[in-house]
Amino acid sequence: MIVLPAAIAAAKAAAAAATSVEFAVLFDWGSAMLSHASRAEQAADVSTALALLRVTLPDTKPLYDNDDVCDAIVAELAGGESLVLDAAARAAVEARIVKLYASPACTAAGLLRHMEELAASLAPFLPDSL
Amino acid sequence: MAAAAAAAAALTAPAAPAADDVTRTPGVVAAAAVLAAVAAAVAAAGDDDDAADAAADAAAIAFAVAADAADTDDHSNSDDGAAAGGAAAETMVTRPAAAAAAAAAAFKAADATSTATREAASAARAAAADATTIAAAAAVDAAAAVAAAVVPESEVRIADAAADIAASAVADAVAAIAAAAERVLSIETMLAQISVETRDAAGNMQRSAHAQMAAAKLAYEAAKLACEAAAVRKADAVARAAPAIAAKTDAAAKATAAAARARELDAAEWVAILAMNSAHSAAMAAHTEKVVKDAAANLAEAQWRSLHYVRQKLTFGCTRIPHVPGGAPWMMTAKDRLLSAGASPPAPSSRVWDNPSVATDLIAAAADKLAAERLDRLRGILGESGAASAVQLARQLAGVPDERRVEETPKRAAAEGTAVWAHRVWAALAGEVAASLGDSFTGCIGHGVRLFTHAQPRYPSIATFAHIEAGDPRDGNVVNARVKVEVKRNWEGLLAKGIAQAREYNNLTLLHMFAVHGADNMFSMDGKWSYSVASDGIYIFILRTSVELDPPKGDAFMRTRVSPPLPLWPADIMAAAYPSGCTTWPGVDEAAAAVASVDGIPAGLLALASLFAVDREFLGNRDVPLPKLAGFVTPTLDGSSGGTGTAIDPPLPPPSDWAIVGVGGFADVYRVAWNNTPCVVKAYRRPTTRMHSLWPEAAAYHKLAGVPGVPRVHGGSWSATGHLRALLLSPVGVMLHNALPGLSFLEQLAIAVHAAAAVLRVLVAARAGHGTPRRPPAQRDRAAGGHRGGKSSGGGGD
């Protein structure tokens, strides 16, 4: 379970200041097996992290393949979000998404670098309402 | 066992009183046997309850163990969990069978008792009959003896009389001799004094006297002989009469004794008969009790099987939708396809269409909450003129051709050239209705509320909207959702999928009810129903899904009553929304007309307001078993069994003050204020081992202390068996899924990416040296089995 802090606005400010954005993380998968994880387990962590992004997709699209998820996210960005993002910003975000999903990383550390880049590019869009 | 022992006691009871001389007579023995048998029957009946209770307890324990195994294993091995669940089901099935067996044992004991009693009574009656026969024979013998004694006794009396006569004759003879002697003496005296002539005469007289005396002596001798003969004859007669008299006396004594015995046995027979009647009554009572218990056991079994079937149907109703990460596309049922094709609704067995009472009962129940002032405010919703008001949005939506209406995505609405979509209309309507109700409305309206139950951890349902009992709309869950709402873009979607989804929300609520209360308790639990709504922003269907019992048949079944489509808006908007009409099947208009509108308030709007205002109890069971936790202590996490740390200060508020915020695969999460800090309590439902407890998670928190984003552990609660059962954590945040609804795609993506980055950051930090907890091979195997990331404990599944 991922638990976000009550005040994401603070996280957004931190992101704007190029400092670390902290999210409270409460999880119970693999929580007691943080070290000495096998390669397969670390690969599962990567899959889990990527699966988190699927929650943003419309409910009616059953997507199981990472490539499909990547395409769907890009398509969404090219659709309604084109009203919000200018072309350059959208291209930057899309490039980082493609890079993220194309990454051969199979460890948390390997994926984190790409995820951090994407997070930084999306930090301005963290909502103030939370 | 107890019943069998009682039956054995009943069978052996007649022998016991024989040790007492007083009760050795057959009748008394029989009576004692019968009384003992009655007592045994009563004891058997009493023991049967104990046996049934013991059987029920054993079955309940077996079920608890099996259910525990099923629930505990479901996060480690779903197949094992299913198997354990099946075992639990089998175990539960045996419970009524055990009760029936106990009842049968009781009946067997009572039957044996009755048999013993009947045999004893028969013996008593036979004994009485024998005694009567003996008494009659004795009386006959006595009569014969009396008759036989008559002749000897007569002879004795005759001999006695003859003896008396002879004696009298002897006495007379003696008297005559004495008189003759006296006369002879007087004559001799006189002779001495008289003359010769006189003497001659006197001599003649003397001779005569001598002759008389001689005759008297002869008479005496004869009388004496006669007397002796009479005495002999008397003695002989007495001797001859003595046996007859003795026989008579003996016969009379025997007859008297036999008569007394007969009277005694007659009384004993009555006692035996009365006791037999009592035993028969007891046997009949035991039989009746057995019949009643058999019927109850059969009913319980039938009800349980029915409820089990209902639970399966509920599960099926929630799992027929294939799980898709991040969403759940809805499958259409054949019935839904028929409906979407414009056909008349079929006559389903479990779904009652066009049931106006669903709405009328609801409106009646909320009537006291909808005073005139609130009805005025509700009516005022229809007169709003603001562009963002619900009625103007509805008017705008009605102006969009129904095939082009959009459900929820603003950008799609923009692409369709409209700035309105069904969710927007409904959100505005729900907000305005809630505001019109004043303090009759409590809680809030949640959007995209995840209905998640540990009974179906892989298949959460996401209600479009829900009226929840929480201050924060993101805190909605299956427990606190009063009314669940599914909104579709138009009428076709409403019939094709919306009603099925709304029913699924009810199914899931009921399934969670089964999970937290147990199938057995569903028999007696009140409020086995749930309400949901399906709407396209124009019409509203109200659904009431219930688990109902048919006691005479021992049947349980699930039924969903669907109201007719009720208009939310005035007639002009309704006509604009569906110019050619859409409620085309027979009877629907009459059913809708049965739900009266009130002074210009459309029936659908009135029903919606009633749903928001009605007492919670009307909407179904809301009980949530609170965790029973021991006091929280500062966790030592040093490898000891725990529970020995210092009690946290200040102590935690009681569970009754906690607010449930989610249920997960193996734990529940509650919001609680502690030490002026918003915290959560995460409680493992059934910890069984160290690894199947919160220990691994607490160890991870401990090792990761200081890593950004990792919650802080303030305390832990340990079970009696030494397992870490609950954790007190802070800070309190918002669950990812609950934070996303209502946001744009870009905002959702930004949050999800940052959350994923946070997770990765924690993992990297831990593996860089922060955390060094080792785990046993079993845990490694489980993790490699593909469960990582697939479970959550607090309403996620993230």
Q: 3-state SS of B30-87?
A: HHHHHHHHHHHHHHHHHHHHHHHHHHHHHHHHHHHHHHHHHHHHCCCCHHHHHHHHHH
Q: Helices (DSSP H) in B402-488: which residue ranges? A: 410-415, 422-436
| Residue B446 host element (H or E) | strand B444-451
Q: Which of B695, B735, B767 sits opposite A1 (nearest CB)?
A: B735
Contacts of A56 in chain B (CB under 8 A): 326, 740, 745, 748-749, 751-752
- Start-to-end C-alpha separation, chain B: 53
Q: Which of B691, B757, B783 sits opposite A112 (nearest CB)?
A: B757
pLDDT tens digits along B429-487: 999 999 999 999 999 999 888 887 777 666 678 899 999 988 888 778 888 899 999 99
- How many angstroms separate the Cα of B310 from the Cα of each of A13, B62, B529? 52, 22, 13
**CA–CA dist B666, B53 (Å, integer):** 31
The complex's ipTM works out to 0.86
**CA–CA dist B610, B591 (Å, integer):** 19
Beta carbons of B783 and A23 less than 8 Å apart: no
Q: What is the pLDDT of residue A88?
A: 86
Q: What is the pLDDT of residue B411?
A: 64
Local confidence band at A13 (pLDDT 50, 70, 90 cut-offs): low
- How many angstroms separate the Cα of B543 from the Cα of each of B351, B484, B499, B512, B619? 10, 10, 8, 18, 11
CB of B732 closer than 8 Å to CB of B679: yes
Beta carbons of A54 and B325 less than 8 Å apart: yes
Interface mutation vs chain A, best among B736, B763, B770, B791, most A CBs within 10 Å: B763
Among chain B residues, the shortest Cα distance to A113 is held by B757
pTM strictly above 0.90 = no
Distance from CA of A64 to the nearest CA of B (A): 8
Q: What is the pLDDT of residue B128?
A: 67
Listed as ranges, residues in chain B with pLDDT below 70 are 1-114, 117-118, 120-121, 124, 128, 317-351, 409-418, 456-459, 551, 554, 583-585, 635-644, 664-665, 769-798
pLDDT tens digits along A80-110: 655 667 888 888 899 999 999 998 888 888 8
For residue B181, report the phi and psi dihedrals to the nearest 5 degrees. Answer: -65, -45
| Burial category of B28 from C-beta neighbours within 10 Å (exposed 0-12, middle 13-18, buried 19 and up) | buried
Distance from CA of B285 to the nearest CA of A (A): 59
- Sort residue B443 into left (φ over 0), alpha (ψ -120 to 50) or beta: left
One-letter-per-residue 3-state SS of B365-415: HCHHHCCHHHHHHHHHHCCCCCCCCHHHHHHHHHCCCHHHCCCCCHHHHHH
CB of B672 closer than 8 Å to CB of B691: no
**CA–CA dist B268, B271 (Å, integer):** 5
Q: What is the CA radius of gyration of chain B?
A: 54
Q: Which of B667, B758, B791 sits opposite A25 (nearest CB)?
A: B758
Q: What is the pLDDT of residue B406?
A: 87
